[in-house]
Amino acid sequence: MKTIVTIVVACAALAACGPKPITPAEAAKLASADARLAKLYEGACKTCHTNPDSGAPLTHDARAWGPRWAQGEEVLLLHVVQGYKGMPSLGQCVACGPRDLQALVRFMADKEDAK
Amino acid sequence: MKISRRAALTAGSLGVVAAGAGAVSLANREKPEPPAPPVLDQNDRLLWRNWSGIQHAYPAQRAAPASEDELAALLPKAPGPIRAVGAGHSFTALVPTDGTLVSLDNLAGVAGWDGDVAQVWAGTRLGALGPALAEKGRAMPGLPDINKQSLGGAMGTATHGAGKAIPAIHAEAQSLRLATVTGEVIEASPTKNSEIFQAAKVSMGALGVITQAHLATAANRRLHRRVWVEDFEAACDQAEARWAKHRNFEFYAVPFTGLAANISHDETDEAARPRGPDTDSGFLEVLRSCRNLLAFSTPLRKAAAHALLSTAKPEEAVDEGWKLLSTERPVRFNEMEYHLPPEAQIPALKEVVATIEKHRPDVFFPIEVRRIAADDAWLSPFNAGPRGSVAVHCHYKDQYGFMFELIEPIFRRHGGRPHWGKLHSLGAADFAALYPRWKDFLEVRRELDPQGRLLNPFLHKVFGV
């Protein structure tokens, strides 16, 4: 019994150390420092990526983006351009070029320093 | 709908079976993603694809003008076909072009007010329009079920909400600005360029690019939203009375369940009780699981689905209309919607449900049933009288060809007009018979774009030019 309690406490401690979940209100306040990107994000991505009902990972939600980022940026961008599951092609941003899309994904995944 | 004791027992037994890992796996099985077109074509042009994924193109040029002047300067020079695109929510091939794709994403927001008339840039997404109007205490009286579309796209395809006294979005336009292929920007209203105004309100980007619409607004009232499930036959019997009673009312017929889900909205002064988390996706998941497990037996499927869904707790919420009238749709689908004479709406719906239940056990999406007020735009499906719409959906991974083979003939037999942005197979001769001002529209189109630089192959078929 003591072992089980120790494991439960350890798991709880580990969970507490994990990334803090972001709320939709917190996600909605985020904006890219780049003015062009901020406008593209506001016009297309934000409507879904700040609304949990959309099924899209919330902007800067490390828990949701972690497994997606782990697939590799190339796979993520392929899904963005072609559409994948609930994600519509180009994120419905026709004005976005490939570099914009890459920058937007990095911003939403909180990986803007990725090389 | 009555469920026999035997069917109920069978459904109960089925629940036990379904608890088995194999059944759970079957119920949750995912079809593979449909094949996707390459990201780039042989000329390194980037893919464009519509929301559902069934239309695509590789435009030679993409433009996102930052001003109306920039757009007007671009149109005479841009390689054709020139097609304006919003969110890409049309299921028909309105957008695909190997010429120029024009996005109005940079022409978005409320440009100003003239009393309670909002001057709205056509690139404004409907989801952003609600909060922008609410800042001035105003609102659109009706909004579609999905609010990702741009205002220009919604107007161009006669997109609508649900309410017997509420017209489609384009009908709220008091005037508009239209950039033409000559580079001219035309102001049109009932008193200025009135023929262009009546033609342009619903014109699928075939007359030019609408840059701005001046929209009549209503007070931003709180609405009381109610969602409840009942037997399909009862919903059909009550529908007319409910359209008369409620400000906004629609219902979803749910094939293979004997059920319908009703949604009403009425103005209220009650304190806000925001809508809870989305439950529609869970509802859809149950329907999909029932399909996956029981498509081989309609009686079993009906009994199981009825048992699982008929006791669903009614949902209620009170909030500003723009927060309630539209819903997130995280599951992509394809759709055919026809607008029928009101008296034909329920008979056509019953035929559609019976046909799907007889021939297409793979279908599980609910069928949306709405009523829309009349307006006078020449190509409005609601021209010359209100219409009742019936919209059939299927999951984006499922085959949608049955809509043309089985469903469209029913709609056509009942005098339906197709939604301009949703699947249909009609051509110019069909539309000439459906729209009294068809020839007048074609004349305005010829005057504004004699060389057809705004027409892609789909629109050549639609207009017969």
A5-56 per-position pLDDT tens digit:
555 455 455 445 566 789 999 999 999 999 999 999 988 899 899 999 888 9
CB B164 within 8 A of CB B243: yes
Cα–Cα dist B122/B312, whole Å: 40
Q: How close A64 comes to chain B (CA, Å)?
A: 16
**How many CB atoms are located within 10 Å of the residue A15 CB?**
8
Q: What is the ipTM of this complex?
A: 0.83
What integer is the mean pLDDT of B8-16? 47
pLDDT score at B277: 84
- Look at residue B22 and tell me whether its pLDDT is greater than 50: yes
pLDDT score at B154: 97
Same domain? B269 vs B418? yes
In a domain, residue B66? The reply is yes
In a domain, residue B96? The reply is yes
Mutation pick from A74, A92, A102 vs chain B, by most beta carbons of B within 10 Å, is: A92
Q: Which residues in chain A (16-75) have CB-CB distances under 8 A to chain B?
A: 39-40, 43-44, 47-48, 51-56
DSSP state for residue A87 in the 8-state scheme = B
In a domain, residue B43? The reply is no
What integer is the mean pLDDT of B393-419? 97
A76 in B contact zone (CB under 8 Å): no
Q: First-to-last CA distance in chain B?
A: 50
Q: How close A54 comes to chain B (CA, Å)?
A: 5
B103-131 per-position pLDDT tens digit:
999 999 999 999 999 999 999 999 999 99
Q: Which residues in chain B (10-39) have CB-CB distances under 8 A to chain A?
A: 33, 36-37, 39
pLDDT score at B11: 47
Same domain? B272 vs B337? yes
Are A47 and B51 in contact (CB < 8 Å)? no
Per-residue tokens: B440: 């007048």
- Look at residue B358 and tell me whether its pLDDT is greater than 70: yes
Same domain? B260 vs B213? no
Are A55 and B105 in contact (CB < 8 Å)? no
B334 in A contact zone (CB under 8 Å): no
Q: Which residues in chain B (106-165) have CB-CB distances under 8 A to chain A?
A: 106, 108, 123, 125, 127-128, 148
Q: How close A113 comes to chain B (CA, Å)?
A: 25
Same domain? B257 vs B140? no
Listed residue (B145, B137, B48, B40) closest to B100, CA to CA:
B48
- Look at residue B9 and tell me whether its pLDDT is greater than 60: no
Residue B66 maps to which CATH number? Answer: 3.30.43
In a domain, residue B449? The reply is no
Cα–Cα dist A8/B241, whole Å: 58
Same domain? B213 vs B325? no
**Under 8 Å CB-to-CB from B35, ≥6 apart: which residues?**
none
Extended beta strands in B359-434, E state: 367-372, 387-395, 417-418
The DSSP element (H or E) to which B113 belongs, if any, is strand B110-114
In a domain, residue B431? The reply is no
B138-148 per-position pLDDT tens digit:
999 899 988 88
Same domain? B149 vs B291? no
In a domain, residue B354? The reply is yes
Higher pLDDT, B276 or B412: B412
B224-240 per-position pLDDT tens digit:
999 999 999 999 999 99
- Look at residue B24 and tell me whether its pLDDT is greater than 80: no
pLDDT score at B155: 98
Same domain? B283 vs B393? yes
User: Where is average pLDDT lowest: B17-31, B37-51, B308-322, B435-449?
Assistant: B17-31
Same domain? B172 vs B280? no
Boundary-marking domain end, from B62, B81, B103: B103
What integer is the mean pLDDT of A64-86? 95
Average pLDDT, chain B: 93
- Look at residue B463 and tell me whether its pLDDT is greater than 70: yes
Are B278 and A56 in contact (CB < 8 Å)? no
Are A78 and B33 in contact (CB < 8 Å)? no
B100, closest residue in chain A (CA to CA): A94
Written as one string, the DSSP assignment of B288-314 is: HHHHHHHTT-HHHHHHHHHHHHTTPPP
In a domain, residue B332? The reply is yes
pLDDT score at A32: 94
DSSP reduced 3-state for B151: helix
pLDDT score at A65: 96
Listed residue (B296, B224, B290, B293) closest to B254, CA to CA:
B290
Q: Which domain does B150 fall in, by range?
A: 110-219
B326 in A contact zone (CB under 8 Å): no
Which residue ranges make up each domain of chain A?
Answer: 22-108
User: Where is average pLDDT lowest: A20-29, A72-81, B384-393?
Assistant: A20-29
What integer is the mean pLDDT of B191-197? 98
- Look at residue B397 and tell me whether its pLDDT is greater than 50: yes
What integer is the mean pLDDT of A70-98? 93
Same domain? B71 vs B173? no
Per-residue tokens: B323: 């927060």
In a domain, residue B41? The reply is no
Q: How many domains does chain B have?
A: 3
CATH fold of A22-108, please? Cytochrome Bc1 Complex; Chain D, domain 2 (1.10.760)
Residue B284 maps to which CATH number? Answer: 3.40.462.10
Same domain? B233 vs B348? yes
CB A101 within 8 A of CB A80: yes
Question: HEC states along B74-112?
Answer: HCCCCCCCEEEECCCCCCCCCCCCCCEEEECCCCCCEEE
- Look at residue B6 and tell me whether its pLDDT is greater than 70: no
A90-109 per-position pLDDT tens digit:
998 988 999 999 999 999 99
Residue B125 maps to which CATH number? Answer: 3.30.465.10
pLDDT score at B8: 45
CB B449 within 8 A of CB B206: yes
What integer is the mean pLDDT of B88-100? 97
Same domain? B285 vs B369? yes
Strands B333-340 and B417-418, bridge-based pairing: antiparallel
For residue A25, list chain B residues with Cβ-Cβ distance below 8 A.
Answer: none
Are B49 and A44 in contact (CB < 8 Å)? no
Same domain? B213 vs B226? no
